Structure 1
Amino acid sequence: MPVVTTAQLVKLQSRTENIRNICILAHVDHGKTTLSDSLLASNGIISSKLAGKVRYLDSREDEQERGITMEASGISLYFQILRKSMEGEEIIKNSDEYLINLIDAPGHVDFSSEVSTASRLCDGALILVDVVEGVCTQTHTVLRQAWVENVRPILVLNKIDRLITELKLTPLEAQVHLNKIVEQVNAIVGTYFAGDVIGEETKRHEAEKERQLRQEKELESESSTEIAFEEHDDSNIYFTPESGNVIFASALDGWAFRIDQFAQIYATRLGIKESILCKVLWGDYYLDPKTKRFLQQKHLKGRQLKPMFVQFVLENIWAVYDSVIINNNREKIEKIVKSLQLKVLPRDMRSKDTRTLLTSMFNQWLPLSTAVLLDKLPSPIVAQPVRLPRILSIDVKEKPINEVERGLFSCDTSDSAPVVAYVSKMFAVHSDMLPENRRKQFSAEELREKGRLQRIARLHSSDTRVEEKLVLDATASDINHSEIPISESLDASLEQLHLQSTIDSENVVVSQQKPSEETFIGFSRLYSGTIRVGQKLYVLGPKYDPAFPDKHCSEITVKSLYLMMGKEMESLQEVPAGNVFGIGGLEGHILKNGTLSSTKECKNLAGVTLESAPIVRVALEPADPSEINKLSEGLRLLNQADPCVEVLVQETGEHVILTAGEVHLERCLRDLKERFAKIEIQVSPPIVPFRETIVPVSEHQPNKDNVQRGVVTLSTPNKYCTIKVRTVPLPSNVTAFLNQHAITIKSIMDERQQRNKIDLHATEEYEDAIKDITIKGECILSFDEFSNLLQLEFDKAGGNEIWKNVVENIWAFGPKRVGPNLLINNIHNYTRRSWQKYFSDTKMSGSLSSDINEVNSKFVEERASLELSIRDFEEGIHTGFQLATKTGPLCAEPLMGVAYFLEDFTISIDYENVDISEIRQKLSGYVITTMRDACLQGFLELSPRLMLAMYSCDIQATTEALGRVYAVISRRRGRIISDELKDGTPFFQICALLPVVESFGFADEIRKRTSGAAIPQLIFSGFEMLDEDPFWVPTTEEELEDLGEKSDRENLAKKYMENVRKRKGMSTDKKIVEHAEKQRTLKKK
């Protein structure tokens, strides 16, 4: 294949209908990068023999070392397809040229954020599945990501060669195996479809309910239109080979095919229409050799016929592998080459490397690029009207209402169209790798010209007398004035040489003086307009709202545009809509992602769903304390270059980074040391999060003061206020519900916070609060459903009267106002404004100004009164609750699943002898600390427990390695959830739960123990209670007899608790002298 030039690719960028933006998604080691290499070989970028070995798009050194992709990288490819059309009796071949913007995304679970950024830029996705390993953990993730982003997926069943060479399956067994994989993938897609339908139906019922309430209120006529039920068609969402969205491939051997390719081959031979063959070449269809009719299984009548997919497709491929790889039969190979009309070089026929011969044959017979890059993947013109409504959160059926939406939906490339681009991520490249800083490569003509000028210079410096003689002769002689004197020609050449040498020397000086540094480039997709170098655009941040155009918005000038070619880049002057490109000049304006637009009326396109949340954190400090500024700058660059990492500075000044997993952490530390900070860094042991909770205890067990356990009464230090709090564990289903809906709680609390600002003066902030209330209507609509579902969860728990109608009395959530802990008002003679009333429809439909006046008048009256009430300390009570739930009493970790009932709040003050305003100020601080202490004391009076962060661990292992896998999991205090043998394979699929605190080094250990036969995938699954009391000591006679006073059995909860307390600098029960009763051996004098 001849090498494709940059000019050819740039020319195709303006032909939007022939552009395909594709990402490759799969589980780790399912063949994504090998498939990319095979496609690159079709453009002459690498040799076809090196496909799968060079891993061209894995440009990082650690990617090559580990053999996995860590960063999404893109490349633009040229693809030409020949189409045959009939005009009369003549067959005319038409050539169509396509530009393929290909993005290779990682498959490791730690880099799921890269999958999110890649899928947003593309219109189609190749979902690869290893046919031996089948559907794995990350297969679910990438299918979900493709569904969320509304990307059209193509299923690629890869590594079919392993069915032949490793599993030794027959063609008939292989068809059954492949059919099961397709069914599994379709079952996953079906669950996503069902979830969306249920969500839409829920919204429809809410809208119908609201319409009925409005009809009753406004007495609308009965003829008002009802919202009709809408049927959802799921026929086009599934993968079926006959529809062309399933590809059978072996990327390593460089071949792939679709059903319609074989249908085209056999249509002329069998005299059957190609469209009919496409429908019967997959499934339980059989060809009657006598009647040439297609039969289904029920019509076989006992005849042993082979399915058509086996007979016409798989047996041919099996025959090639049998002749070339398994038996290496030269005669059969020559027959196959002759029958398929292939051109195989004699050296390939004589080669001892049978894979080379196999690849050469398949590249001509079933080329991979022809099957993969097909018409089933949409162009930007077709894809954007389908994808953008979901990104913009509008209905697909709605027509564009303004110029920006019209440009986005039509992928308008005209100069008058508004420019709208999405920056998916910022990635760092070395400055020397940029095209403008690359050393210029001279052509042969330029080198000859440079040599000629140097020869003239040498001649001029060595013989000045010859030059003088030539000048005198030219002056004295009678010459034609139209000719150029030799001296002038020589001077001109010398001047040109001097200028060239000056430029070269300046370039050398600049390159020597310019420090080695990283430059950030935006990985972008243009949806509308044409972007040019020097153009001024607005950068819209993730929080940008068109209603407030001056917030989260800045203006930039486009400094540079790049064509993405893997680790290389080529400069561009302009990019039309529909293309994926790189853009420079965004440093200081975009942190991780953002939107570029020529108008401020554009909606924000940012906000990518990240599948993997960062869970592993470490503290960093420089080996040399004087280089702390370099570390801070390096962390800033790392935070911008990685879409998933989080960088924090603790209150103590400690620098902390949060990563998605152990492999992600290693990559971040390597980047810090070698690219961004370039200093030696000391890394703390991984900081693993814990949670603190309580379990129910028997109600007949009072505490030492003969009071019900969990009920605490405390007074402030000056005895003016007394607080009574009852601590109760939340039902497990309620805790899980609150964790699942943390985003909903946050949106509700943000809304409430904005409403509280109404009490302020009529300032700009006050006006913004009013605007926010009128804009954020979705939060109000979803609130009723949230509160109803929450009360339903309490009702499910049952068994306790305290949960009856408890939602109406919720005061706050914690910690951070959104956590899975509740503060509940249970004071009988005190009625505070329920949080639900902030979101009632009557408040929103009524006059906002009257609500403001009512709140302000009550507040003024209470402030003017001569006596204090609980309303003066509501904020202090709430703050104390937040502090208690943020740092628990065991090891200062957040609480989970705890409810605090405020039973009583009494004030005892002699108002005649005190200053009310002074007392109010002092008591505010006292109430905070007293409320916090009461909550923590009530927590300790019950039975406290630690909750461990858990990984869900998926492992595929052979029967021989199964026992060693179990041993490693057991030693790491994990537990097996399920294990089952995958049908048709020798692999067991093991699912286990593993504590995060025990997971470090787990992958390396399991690979060593199994000799690389098992590779785990760890995904954070939540928190699980460790059912051990950290304060347990043997007390009964049996326990003392079995364990002794020192309790030789290890208390795991106490061990974890003390390790965390020691790390945080808190006191521990660790004794300096462990056993003081031992006999002393020191000699007394």
Structure 2
Amino acid sequence: MLPQNQSRPLTMEEIAKRRAAVKQRLKDQENLSSTEKSQKEGEEDGEKREEEEERSVFLAFARIYSGTLRRGQEVYVLQPRYDPQEMDLDNPRLCQDDPAGSSSLGHVGPGNANGVGADGGGGAERYATKVKITELYILMGRGVVQVESVPAGNVLGIGGLDQHILKSATVSTSLACPAFRPMSFAAAPILRVAVEPNNASDTAALSRGMSLLNQADASVEISLQATGEYILSTAGEVHLQRCLDDLRDTFAKVTLSVSAPIVPFRETIIPPPKLDTLNEVISEENVVKLAPVNPLLSEGERAEGEIVTVQTPNKACTLLIQAKPLPERVVGLLSSSTALLKALYLTTSSSGGKGQVLLSSETLEKLKKLRRDLEEGFSSEESWSEFSDDFLGRIWGFGPKSTGTNVLLCGLSEYRRGSVWRGVEGGREGPQGYHHSVVYGFQLACQAGPLCEEPLRGVCFVLRGWNFAASEGGETTGDKSLSEDTTPPVVKTVAGSYGPFSGQLISTVKEGCRRAFQVQPARLMSAMYTCNILATAEVLGKLYAVLGRRNGRVCAEEMREGSTVFSIQALVPVAESFGFAEEVRKKTSGLASPQLFFSHWEVIPNDPFWVPSSEEELLHFGEKADSENLARRYMNAVRKRKGLAVDEKLVEHGEKQRTLKRKQIAQLLCTNHVSFLCHHLVYMSSRILPFLARIC
């Protein structure tokens, strides 16, 4: 409780005033009718609820690095994205006092270095706010002490900043101060659930509570889907339970309905395998074609090979697309360079007419180093030798969201278009044509894959051909390959029932990328936890049994010197981690306690569409292959959650009659199923008795 809100001893005069007020209230209630009494009680209850809501306040936890902070002092709250280089610090309007004590600088800055003014919503002034310090506290154990000033080097609490800080910020008396970077955490928010109130009338309270939780917990992520669904992303099972308790008891104060944990997956492709599941070499002699590789494909698409041909609805454009798996080193580089890819995208993006963003010399050097590393990663793989001539110059984009681990590559021999690296090279881009429509279709395909609508990872889509065959009026004349020209011809077609040509091209590229993905060996990727466990030798067997049931594997095991404790490092799939810590403690009687941290994405080796295809597999598994497929189980679970079609047979033989053995009949009798047998006997007697009467 804050010092100003703590109760203090009352004086005799205050006690007398309260006694008189209570007597007057009782006298007024005696003169009221029952209806007026209920109305007044409802008003009093509402006032009490408002008072309870106002009891919770936020204090900014801070440390002073320089100077002294005093009550009543005016400071600037700088968000992590604030950049003083984009501010016009010589503008006298920035130094004007605000009579209200708090002002946003969003309308006083002239704009950034790129000419974006305040009217356009650009510039660093959006991330700076001028406020007046009203409360200062020193943290003393479980309580706080209100003070007038705090010198440098102390940890303190600042009140009244809850409307200006989301998660972290920098407080300074000068706008020339660079903002500190946001806090980073080792545990990534990988566990997601959907949250909604039990009563629809509590939606506003839930929205307010989610905002407060997002502000109070720096490691939680909250997102609102297009369907209006709130998604809560946490670092683990314990963190999730803590966030839900805070929502119910402190922030929202409503009853919640929480969905089952939403486990993220990724979709990828691998090179064609050379060995079957029995480690036998796959050859044309021992392969038996029993079923298609991927049942999601149609018969025509299965015979196309690696390169897929797609056509726009108006038959004006034909595209040839191929999907290839990226090298592991390249995927790792792209995954760790998200911020650089975002900066690279901003240099080449001109959406909204805001112009291009200038890169600093440090960012430019990092991008050049990233390009050199990518060149080394691709040159080390023999399968990419055909693109050795200016390979990275052929890259049109990354996906999804222009910062992912998927690549769109132009495989045309003579066709040239400004690549994503033109912001680093300093070159200019030529006419746009329909280049952006192709890139946007690629982005849509990367956001949701064909297996279970999960994002793609580590896939390269190569544009092998791009042919136009259209004239005025939308009639096809002759194919014209874009490899002969540097600019695609403008297709003068009437939109008609097909819509604009750019929209047709976007949907066609998306479907072409999905089909090219499906003709390759597709795999699911599971998020993996690194599990650190300390256990004694007596419980190692039970611990390994739990890891085996959870599809985990032990990576390292060592005994600590001078003790009987083993330090075990294992990998556990996130999909199998729910209740893992509780089961470990239960099986080991509390002698082992795991710690889980997000590690990486790992390819599940099982093919989700696997069926026996070689003679050895047929002898070992049979034609049906009823053994459990882990990847297929994960894929079907995600498809069911998203409402997609699932290839499962509820009843395989509908005409098969159910037979009961003596043991089953005894079990039915023991479980109060006498009524079933009675109905069965009545039915049989109604069929047999007329037959016997006819014989007699």
TM-score norm. by structure 1 comes to 0.49
Give the letter for the 2:415 counterpart: Y
Is 1:807 paired with 2:392? yes
Structure number with the bigger relative contact order (C-alpha 8 A, sep ≥ 6) is 2
Matched position secondary structure for 2:186: coil
Structure 1: distance between partners of 2:310 and 2:23: 81
Q: Tell me how far apart the structure 1 counterparts of residues 265 and 18 of structure 2 sit (CA, whole Å).
A: 67
What aligned pairs does 1:122-133 form with structure 2 within 5 A after superposition?
none
**Matches for 1:417-456 after TM superposition, within 5 Å:** 433-441=1-9, 450=12
Aligned-partner SS, 2:174: coil
Q: Residue 532 of structure 1 aligns to which amino acid in structure 2?
A: R
How far 1:1018 moved relative to its partner?
A: 0.9
Q: Does 1:936 align with 2:514?
A: yes
Q: Which position in structure 2 is the counterpart of 1:543?
A: 81
Match of 2:368 in 1: 784
3-state secondary structure, aligned to 1:547 = helix
8 Å CA contact 2:397, 2:419 repeated in 1 = no
> In 1, Cα distance between the equivalents of 2:311 and 2:202?
49
- The equivalent of 2:451 in structure 1 is 890
What amino acid maps onto 2:514 in structure 1? L
The structure-2 alpha-carbon separation of the partners of 1:832 and 1:1010, relative to structure 1 and needing over 3 Å to count, comes to same
In the alignment, is the contact (CA less than 8 A) between 2:344 and 2:421 conserved in 1? Answer: no
> How big is each residue's C-alpha offset from its partner over 1:153-172, in whole Å with a ceiling of 9 and x where there is no partner?
xxxxxxxxxxxxxxxxxxxx
1:584 is aligned to 159
Displacement of 1:912: 5.9
Does the 8 A contact of 2:136 with 2:149 survive in 1? Answer: yes
Correspondence 1:750 to 2:326 = no
- Structure 2 residue 588 is the aligned partner of structure 1 residue 1027: no
Alignment partners' CA distance in 1, 2:59 and 2:332: 41
Residue 678 of structure 1 deviates from its aligned partner by 1.0
Residues in 1 aligned to 2:220 and 2:4: alpha-carbon distance in whole angstroms: 30
Q: Does 1:717 align with 2:278?
A: no
Does 1:834 pair with 2:419? yes
Render the CA deviation track for 1:796-824: whole Å, top value 9, x for unaligned.
22344235242121111111111111100
> Who is 1:793 aligned against?
377
One-letter code aligned to 1:749: Y
Task: Give the structure 1 partner of residue 227 of structure 2.
Answer: 652
Aligned pair 1:980/2:558, yes or no? yes
Structure 1: which amino acid aligns with 2:361?
A: G
> For the residues of structure 2 that align with 1:1079 and 1:1036, how far apart are their CA atoms?
34
What is the letter of the counterpart of residue 538 of structure 1? Y
Instruction: Tell me the alpha carbon deviations over residues 560-596 of structure 1, each in whole angstroms, 9 at most, x when there is no partner.
Output: 1111123311111222222211011112210001011
Match for residue 905 of structure 1?
A: 466
Aligned counterpart for 1:734 among listed residues 315, 325, 330: 330
How far apart in 2 are the matches of 1:905 and 1:1038?
Answer: 43
Task: Give the distance between the partners of 1:605 and 1:793, measured in 2 at CA.
Answer: 34
Q: Please say if residues 451 and 635 of structure 2, whose CA atoms lie closer than 8 Å, have aligned partners that are also in contact.
A: yes
Q: Distance in 2 between matches of 1:596 and 1:574?
A: 15
How far the C-alpha of 1:500 sits from its partner, in A, is: 8.8
More helix by share: 1
**How many Å apart are 1:603 and its aligned residue?**
1.3
Is the contact made by 2:197 and 2:255 (CA closer than 8 Å) also made in structure 1? yes
2:302 and 2:519 in contact (8 A); partners too = no
Q: Tell me how far 1:752 sits from its aligned partner.
A: 2.6
Separation (CA, whole Å) in 2 of partners of 1:532 and 1:1074: 77
CA distance in 2, matches of 1:1025, 1:603: 42
Contact conserved, 1:794 with 1:803, CA < 8 A, in 2?
A: no
Residues 717 and 528 (structure 1), Cα distance of their counterparts in 2 relative to 1, 3 Å cut: same
- Aligned partner of 1:527 among 57, 60, 65: 65
Q: 1:951 is matched with which residue?
A: 529
**Does the CA-based 8 Å contact 1:659-1:665 persist in structure 2?**
yes
Q: Is structure 2 residue 576 aligned with structure 1 residue 998?
A: yes
Q: Tell me the matched-pair count.
A: 565
Give the deviation of 1:709 after TM superposition: 2.7
Q: TM-score, normalised by structure 2?
A: 0.76
Residue 619 of structure 1 aligns with which residue? 194
Aligned with residue 436 of structure 2, among 852, 871, 875? 875
Give a deviation string over 1:380-408, Cα, whole Å, max 9, x none.
xxxxxxxxxxxxxxxxxxxxxxxxxxxxx
Q: C-alpha separation between the residues in 2 aligned to 1:995 and 1:736? A: 19
Paired AA for residue 785 in structure 1: K
CA gap of 1:1071–1:499, structure 2 versus 1, over 3 A, is: same
CA RMSD, aligned part only?
2.9
Q: 1:514 — aligned with what?
A: 51
| 1:970 corresponds to which of 548, 564, 569 | 548
* Rounded Cα–Cα distance in structure 1 between residues aligned with 2:81 and 2:657: 69
- Asked whether the equivalents of residues 1026 and 1053 of structure 1 are also in contact (C-alpha less than 8 Å), the reply is yes
State the distance in 1 between where 2:658 and 2:589 align. Answer: 50
Whole-angstrom CA distance in 2 between matches of 1:913 and 1:797: 44
Equivalent residue for 1:1055, pick from 633, 637, 647: 633
Q: Which residue of 2 aligns with 1:823?
A: 408
Distance (whole Å) between structure 1 residues aligned to residue 16 and residue 241 of structure 2 = 51
Question: Letter of the aligned partner of 1:515 in structure 2?
Answer: E
Q: Do 1:950 and 1:995's aligned partners in 2 also have CA atoms closer than 8 Å?
A: yes
Per the TM alignment, residue 648 of structure 1 is displaced from its structure 2 partner at its CA by 0.7
Partners of 2:23 and 2:580 in 1: CA distance: 55
Q: CA deviation at 1:1034?
A: 3.2
The residue number in structure 1 matching 2:182 is 607
Amino acid paired to 1:592: K
- Aligned with residue 213 of structure 2, among 619, 638, 641: 638
Decide which structure has the larger Cα Rg and report it. 1
Name the SS of the counterpart of 2:58 in structure 1: strand
Other structure's SS at 1:551 match: helix
Identity %: 40
Displacement of 1:992 in angstroms is 0.9
Which amino acid is 1:539 matched to?
A: V
Deviations 1:527-578 (A, max 9, x none): 2332222222221111111133422112222221111123311111222222
- The whole-number CA distance in structure 1 between the counterparts of 2:595 and 2:469 is 60
Matched letter for residue 373 of structure 2 = L
Mapped contact 1:956–1:1016 kept (Cα < 8 A)? yes
Pairwise CA distance, 1:946: 0.5
Whole-angstrom distance in 1 between the partners of 2:3 and 2:387: 67
Task: Show the counterpart of 1:916.
Answer: 492
Distance 1:799 1:936, change over 3 A: closer
Could you report, residue by residue, the CA deviation over 1:352-400 in whole angstroms, capped at 9, with x for unpaired residues? xxxxxxxxxxxxxxxxxxxxxxxxxxxxxxxxxxxxxxxxxxxxxxxxx
Q: How does 1:324-473 map to 2 (within 5 A)?
A: 433-441=1-9, 450=12
Match of 1:1010 among 573, 584, 588: 588
Query: Displacement, 1:828?
Result: 2.1
**Measured at CA, do residues 640 and 1041 of structure 1 come closer, stay the same or move farther in structure 2, by a change above 3 Å?**
same
CA distance in 1, matches of 2:337, 2:391: 18
Matched, 1:1069 2:630: no
| Structure 1 residue 676 corresponds to structure 2 residue 254 | no
TM-superposed deviation, 1:698: 6.7
Q: Distance in 2 between matches of 1:1078 and 1:1040?
A: 26
* Aligned-residue offset at 1:727: 1.0
Does the Cα contact within 8 Å between 1:751 and 1:779 map onto a contact in 2?
no
CA displacement, residues 314-348 of structure 1 (integer Å, 9 cap, x when unaligned)? xxxxxxxxxxxxxxxxxxxxxxxxxxxxxxxxxxx
- Give the Cα–Cα distance (whole angstroms) in 2 for the partners of residues 835 and 1035 of structure 1: 42
- Structure 1 equivalent of residue 667 of structure 2: none
Q: Which amino acid is the alignment partner of residue 895 of structure 1?
A: L
Q: Deviation string for 1:94-132 (max 9, x for gaps)?
A: xxxxxxxxxxxxxxxxxxxxxxxxxxxxxxxxxxxxxxx
